[in-house]
Amino acid sequence: MKKIICFMLSLLLLSGCSSRREIDTLPVVLGFGIDDRDNGIEITSQIALPSNIVSNGGTAQKENSSPYVNLTSVGDYIFPAIHSSSTMLGSELYMAHNLLVVFGQKIAEDGLEKYMDFFLRDHELRMNMFMLVTDGEAKDILSVESDFAILPSIHIAKQLATQKETSLGVASDMFDFLYCLSSGRRSPLLPLIHIIENGDDKPTLQLQGTAVFSGDKMIGTLDSYETRGYLWATKNDVNTVLISSVYGEPVSIESLNSTNDIRFSEKNGKIFADIKVTTAGNIGSIRGKANLFSVDWIEKLEEEVSKNIKQEILAAVSKSKELKSDFFGFEDMLYKHNYDTWKKYSKNVDKIIEKIEVNVTVDTKILESGRIKYTIGAK
Amino acid sequence: MTEKISNNDFYFAIACFIQSSVLITSYTVSEIQQETWFIAILAFVISVFIVLLYSWLIKRFQGQGLYDVLYIAYGKIFGKILVFSYLLFFLLVLSVNIRDTADFSIVYILPDMHLWLVIVSFTALVFFAVQSGIQNLVRYGFVFFFITSLILLINLVLLSERIDFSNFLPLFSFDFIKYLKGTQFVTSVSFCETIVFLTLAPFIEQPAKISKTFIIGIILGFISLVIIVFCEIAVLGATVSILSTPYYAAVRLISTFDVFTRLETLFSFLLLVMKFFKISILFFAVSTAISKLINKKLNLFSNLLTAVLVIIVSLNFVDSNIELQNFGGSIYPFVLSTFEILLPIITFCIIKFKKL
């Protein structure tokens, strides 16, 4: 009896992997692009072709033929369009390693929620994939090759990771975007990516500026300074380069670390948000005849840097009010830290951002002057 | 002579059983979100009193299991009806757990596999485990508990870069009724399913020390629940309200130095192992109920009958995972509360009243 049971079970359990997917034939998707078309949406899937990538001393290199293929398909909705790509390819797309999704501006203005649903629901995809918006075509973005990475998607993902480290701009993943939509108290931001034409040379990709959303719809943009203003107020350790002018002489400051604190108070039917930023930095370069040993000069520099940071923050706040988009997350902070005030205003006001008055205080400390004590012309 | 289970093995088994229940906490955390930790504490405090009641029953009727106590308290006819009711109850809990595990396997691990094949294979595995002696399996609770705790701690450390403490705010912002429902859910689903251990009571080495054993067991389980809920809230924030498996989703976000990634594989492994442990204990409870009803010792027949019943019920009692989720969030907690809290309290009152 036992032998018969064992035999029957082995038939069931040891029959091999009927649904196996071999790695060399797996169409691994590393990036998606979504563009608006008259007859629906166009999905571009960037699929890596491992057989066209050779390994040279541990480094992956391109063979003569392309290491990837961009597959496009059109459909009314995202899921049928991706299915259509699989049919075209003759194999189901493998999306577990997808790095990013690029949305065309028209798609972003139309609202991203209906597209995100697929990316969140599918069991292969992860929430830490980057999201970007382009003012051109997402399909073109995924076709711009770089000498620094073997695939365009990998290159963009590297740029975004660096952007996240250096605070040059926002680098949102799908989880960040989902958080904003789920809470309903914070408007999302996504990085903007552009193609830069270089005459006869190959075009390159540049991350510059930020797409501003209200809910899931893109409603405007922030330039680089406004983006940095947002980062000063909301993120710690903004690592960036600032140019300030002391007595007419431009000085470059490398900000090493920064902290921020936002406190709320309520008076006469208005909510006051006091943003306090503290930053420390080193002098990167000076043009002119500065005397670094003068207390007055250093204090003036610190004052100027503080003024510049404050201007950037206020520019971003002004854009937030103009677009009625609470991308700073004031309402979310109010909900978490001043729940009673939030409850009072959320019932009566459509957008709490309109009721918020922002005060900014910046405290800057210059720490190091570098390896030279004077400027070249000062002695 | 029947092989005994030491009290140490017994509390690790209880902790392990609770761990397997709390690995998926989507219902509570999606409803109470940032305050699930508070619900967890409330549920734990209530559960301490309930497991003390279970312990009292074990101590009062040393060497007897749950079904024997029911016969003693309610007499032969009502006792039989209640044993049959508990059989149906444990069969339901068993089927829900097998179906849940099979659905998880199909969605995340084996997408092209047939549901029936996963359920049959899993049931076969559990059948052999119980057939080989439940005492042997209970002894492995210690190993399973430490593996699970280690993985939970590793995940906690690797998720630390995504932790945002402000996600725990504001405090006490929900209606009273939500706290009540949440507490009832966590008490009955996470902690009081341990009533199944009353069927193992005859094997306990020192029944006189069972209160301490039960309390240590649920404290260890509670610590695991707190770690899981902490990760879910601190990492996922408001997004927990829409995710079906929040802890799994949080673990999928781990990407430390681009080296420690895809750790959900460990979680899937863990879930299968822990569910195997839990399902085996429940399987034993159903099989014991069958043998009590037919007045026979636990044998191959009752185990085989349990296996067949489980396969049939888990394949047919809901049509889809969506139905299972709806059932889990609506009627299920009330069924659990009836058998885990209400009936034991009534039994206690009857025993006291009859001075048994």
pLDDT digits 0-9 by tens, B62-81: 889 999 999 999 999 999 99
Spatial CA neighbour of B17 closest among B150, B124, B148 = B148
* Residue carrying structure tokens 């496009």: A72
Average pLDDT over chain B reads 90
| Beta carbons of B195 and B339 less than 8 angstroms apart | yes
Predicted confidence (pLDDT) per residue in A132-180, tens digit: 999 989 999 999 988 888 899 999 999 998 887 776 788 889 999 999 9
Q: Which residues contact A14 (CB under 8 A, 6 or more apart)?
A: none
A265 is written with which tokens?
Answer: 């108070």
Residue type, B307: A
Spatial CA neighbour of A323 closest among A213, A246, A223 = A213
Through-space distance between the first and last CA atoms of chain A, rounded to whole angstroms: 101
Q: Could A179 and B239 be called an inter-chain contact, meaning their C-beta atoms sit closer than 8 Å? A: yes
Instruction: Check if B113 contacts A (Cβ < 8 Å).
Output: yes
Looking at residue A184, its pLDDT comes to 87
Give the distance from residue B350's alpha carbon to the nearest chain A alpha carbon, in angstroms: 46
A7 is written with which tokens?
Answer: 């035999």
> How sure is the predictor about A320, in pLDDT bands with cuts at 50, 70 and 90?
very high
Three-class SS state of A100: strand
Looking at residue A50, its pLDDT comes to 76
Q: Which residues contact B215 (CB under 8 A, 6 or more apart)?
A: B48, B51, B52
Q: Which residues contact B81 (CB under 8 A, 6 or more apart)?
A: B74
Looking at residue A378, its pLDDT comes to 61
Looking at residue A247, its pLDDT comes to 80
- Per the model's pLDDT, the better-predicted residue between B338 and A11 turns out to be B338
Q: How far apart, in whole angstroms, are the C-alpha atoms of residue A307 and residue A315? A: 12
Q: Could B170 and A335 be called an inter-chain contact, meaning their C-beta atoms sit closer than 8 Å? A: yes
Looking at residue B303, its pLDDT comes to 92
> How sure is the predictor about B150, in pLDDT bands with cuts at 50, 70 and 90?
very high
Looking at residue B26, its pLDDT comes to 65
Report the run of H or E that residue A300 belongs to, with start and end. Answer: helix A295-323
Which residues of chain B are within 8 Å of residue A337 when distances are taken between CB atoms? 166, 169-170
Looking at residue B298, its pLDDT comes to 67
Looking at residue A57, its pLDDT comes to 52
Spatial CA neighbour of A327 closest among A187, A173, A228 = A187
pLDDT, average across residues A312-327: 93
Q: Which residues contact A112 (CB under 8 A, 6 or more apart)?
A: A103, A131, A177, A213, A216, A217
Give the distance from residue A76's alpha carbon to the nearest chain B alpha carbon, in angstroms: 25
Instruction: Check if B238 contacts A (Cβ < 8 Å).
Output: yes
Instruction: Check if B239 contacts A (Cβ < 8 Å).
Output: yes
pLDDT, average across residues B238-242: 88
Pairing of strands A40-48, A29-37: antiparallel
Radius of gyration of chain A (CA): 26
Q: Could A19 and B124 be called an inter-chain contact, meaning their C-beta atoms sit closer than 8 Å? A: no
* Residue carrying structure tokens 């009353």: B198
Three-class SS state of A342: helix
Which residues of chain A are within 8 Å of residue B166 when distances are taken between CB atoms? 333, 336-337
DSSP codes, B80-143: HHHHHHHHHHHHHHHHHHHHHHHHHIIIII-TTS-HHHHHHHHHHHHHHHHHT-HHHHHHTHHH
pLDDT at A377 over 70: no
Percent of chain A clearing pLDDT 70 (strictly above): 90
Q: Which of residues 114-173 of A touch B (CB under 8 A)?
A: 120, 123, 126-128
Report the run of H or E that residue A48 belongs to, with start and end. Answer: strand A40-48
* Residue carrying structure tokens 């610190």: A302
Looking at residue A287, its pLDDT comes to 79
Chain B residue with CA closest to A173: the answer is B253
**What totals of helices (H) and strands (E) does chain A contain, helices first?**
11, 14
| Beta carbons of B182 and B32 less than 8 angstroms apart | yes
Looking at residue A14, its pLDDT comes to 65
Predicted confidence (pLDDT) per residue in A244-260, tens digit: 888 888 888 888 788 99
Q: Could A19 and B110 be called an inter-chain contact, meaning their C-beta atoms sit closer than 8 Å? A: yes
Chain B residue with CA closest to A183: the answer is B238
Residue among B112, B163, B255, B267 with most chain A CBs within 10 A, to mutate: B112
Predicted confidence (pLDDT) per residue in A330-344, tens digit: 999 999 998 888 888
Report the run of H or E that residue B278 belongs to, with start and end. Answer: helix B264-293
pTM of the model: 0.88
Give the side-chain half-sphere CA count within 13 A for A121.
8
Predicted confidence (pLDDT) per residue in A21-75, tens digit: 777 778 899 999 999 988 889 999 999 887 776 655 555 555 557 888 999 999 8
Report the run of H or E that residue B13 belongs to, with start and end. Answer: helix B7-22
* Residue carrying structure tokens 């509670």: B222
Predicted confidence (pLDDT) per residue in B114-142, tens digit: 899 899 999 999 999 999 888 888 999 99
Cα–chain center distance at A177: 10
Q: What angle do CA A276, A281, A285 make, to 5 degrees?
A: 135
Q: Could B169 and A183 be called an inter-chain contact, meaning their C-beta atoms sit closer than 8 Å? A: no
DSSP class of residue B169?
Answer: P
pLDDT at A276 over 60: yes
> How sure is the predictor about B25, in pLDDT bands with cuts at 50, 70 and 90?
low
| Beta carbons of B231 and B155 less than 8 angstroms apart | yes
> How sure is the predictor about B312, in pLDDT bands with cuts at 50, 70 and 90?
very high
Looking at residue B263, its pLDDT comes to 85
| Beta carbons of A370 and A283 less than 8 angstroms apart | yes
CB atoms < 10 A from the CB of A336, how many?
23
Looking at residue A156, its pLDDT comes to 93
| Beta carbons of B167 and B237 less than 8 angstroms apart | yes
DSSP class of residue B356?
Answer: -
Lowest mean pLDDT, pick from A63-67, B19-23, B33-37: A63-67
Residue type, B352: K
Which residues of chain B are within 8 Å of residue A175 when distances are taken between CB atoms? 239, 253
